[in-house]
Amino acid sequence: MKFLLITFVGVHLLSLNSGKAVYKKDTLQRTFQEIKEEISHYGDVAKAIIDLAVYGKAQNRSYERLALLVDTIGPRLSGSKSLEKAIQIMYQNLVEDGLENVHLEPVKIPHWERGEESAVMLEPRMHKMAILGLGSSIGTPPEGITAEVLVVNSFDELQRRAPEARGKIVVYNQPYINYSRTVEYRARGAVEAAKVGALASLIRSVASFSIYSPHTGIQEYQDGVPKIPTACITVEDAEMMSRMVSRGTRIVIQLKMGAKNYADADSFNTVAEIIGSKYPEQVVLVSGHLDSWDVGQGAMDDGGGAFISWEALSLIRDLGLRPKRTLRLVLWTAEEQGGVGAFQYYQSHKANISNYSLVMESDEGTFLPSGLQFTGSEKARAIMKEVMSLLQPINVTQVFSDGEGTDINFWIQAGVPGASLLDNLDKYFSFHHSHGDTMTVMDPKQMNVAAAVWAVVSYVVADMEEMLPRS
C-alpha cells in the first residue's frame, strides 16, 4: 500500500466518525491554553481513579490477580503449553470482568526448549557452574563440549585475540554499563565467537546485581556464520575466571546443553476494549506481554505490566467512565523472542495507523513509578506534561524522553506517539530473566500507584476532544 504524505502548516490531525483521519481547519483556533484548560477539568476524574486504585476497594487487586495467575501457571515460555493455558485463562478473566470486544488474534511464534544443561569446570579444579541457555541456542552433542576457555572483556579484545579462540569456549566478562549497551554481548556473543572459530560461548549475565544468579534472554544467530551453543553464566563465575586467567591459570570446561528449536507454534495476542463513545474507531492502546522466560514466575517481566494494563481498564469501567476514543488492552505473546506477536499485530492493523492516538507499554517493572517516558512531537509532549500534572496527588508527574517498548516500537517508528512507565531499573535488572523473577519481587502498594498512573493517562488521552498531534 502506498501512502500519500501531505504537510499542513499549523493544522492538527483529527479523526472524525468516518473512521478516516483528516485535517480539520477549525482546530486552528484551538490554542495550547485551551487544551491546558481542557485537561485541568479532568482533575476530579483523576482523583477518583487514584482514590479507587490506591486507597479504595480496588487497591491490591492487580497484585492479587497476578499472583493467582503466576502461582497457578508459573513461567510462560513462547511455544509452551503453559503460555497457551495462561492466554485462555486471561481471555476468560477479561470476559468475566465485563470488558468489551474480548477476543484472541492468532499469530505464529517461536518454540524453543532448553532441555537439561550443565557447565562444569574440570581444570584447575572441579566446580559446577550455574548457567541458563540463551533463547534459540542450539544444543551440544550428547557428550557435551570439553574445551579450554578464552576469557575476554569486550568484542574488541576478542578480535585482537582471534587466533587464540579457535577450538575454545569463549567466556565474555563484559562490565555492566547499562542494559541497552551491555545486552549486545548476549545478543551477538555467539556469532562473534563463532566467527573466530570458537566451539561455544558463555556470557556474563546482563544484570545490575547478582547473588550467583544467571540471567537468560534471546540471542541471535547470523546467516553464513556457524551456529554454536551459548549460555549465560553468573557475574561471579565470569569475574572469577577472568582473575584466574590473568594469573596464567588454564581453565577447562565441559558444557552440556539439550536445547532444541522446533517449528513455530500457534498462539494469540489477547485483546479487550472499552469502546469509545464518540470516536470509537480511534484508539489509545495500553499493553504488556503475557509470555515470559521459563525461569522464575514471570511476575515482574512482564506479568506486572500486563496486569496493570488490565487494571487500567477495570478501574475506568468500575467508575462508569467511557472515553470518547476506544481504550484497547493488548496482552502480547512472544515479546521475549523479539516482539513476534506484536509485529504480526502491527502488520494486521497498520492500515488504521492514523487512528492510533497513543500506544503505551509497561515492560520495565511496576515498582514505584518516577514518571512516564514519552516519544512524540513537542506539541504532544507539552500535552502529556499537562496530563501528568493530574497525578500530583501521588507525586508522579515527570515526563521523560524515549518512550519505548519492544511491542510498541513498530508504531512509534511509524510516527505514533508512544509512552512507557519508568521506575527503578537497577532493581528491575537485578531480577530480570532470572529464577528470582517471582511474586516476592512485587509490591502491591507500588502496583496500585503504577495502575493509577496507567489508568489516568490512558483515560484522559482517550477522552480529550483531539488526538495527540504528530510531528
Count of C-beta atoms within a 10 Å radius of residue 113: 15
Residue spans of alpha helices (H) in 390-468: 409-413, 425-431, 444-463
Dihedral sign (CA 166, 136, 360, 436): negative
Given 117, 192, 273, 335, the catalytic residue: 335
DSSP 3-state assignment of 328?
A: strand
Dihedral Cα 186, 267, 104, 217, nearest 10 deg:
-10
Residue 266, all three cell numbers? 500457534
Strand ranges inside 242-333, DSSP E: 252-257, 260-274, 279-289, 325-332
Block residue for cell numbers 492468532: 106
3 state DSSP class of 355: helix
Q: Is 116 annotated in the active site?
A: no
SS3 275: coil
Work out the burial of residue 327: count CB atoms within 10 Å of its CB; fewer than 13 is exposed, 13-18 middle, 19 or more buried: buried
- Inter-axis angle of helices 444-463 and 378-389, to 10 degrees? 130
Residues 6+ apart with CB under 8 A from 337: 78, 109, 110, 135, 136, 218
Which residues are tagged catalytic?
335
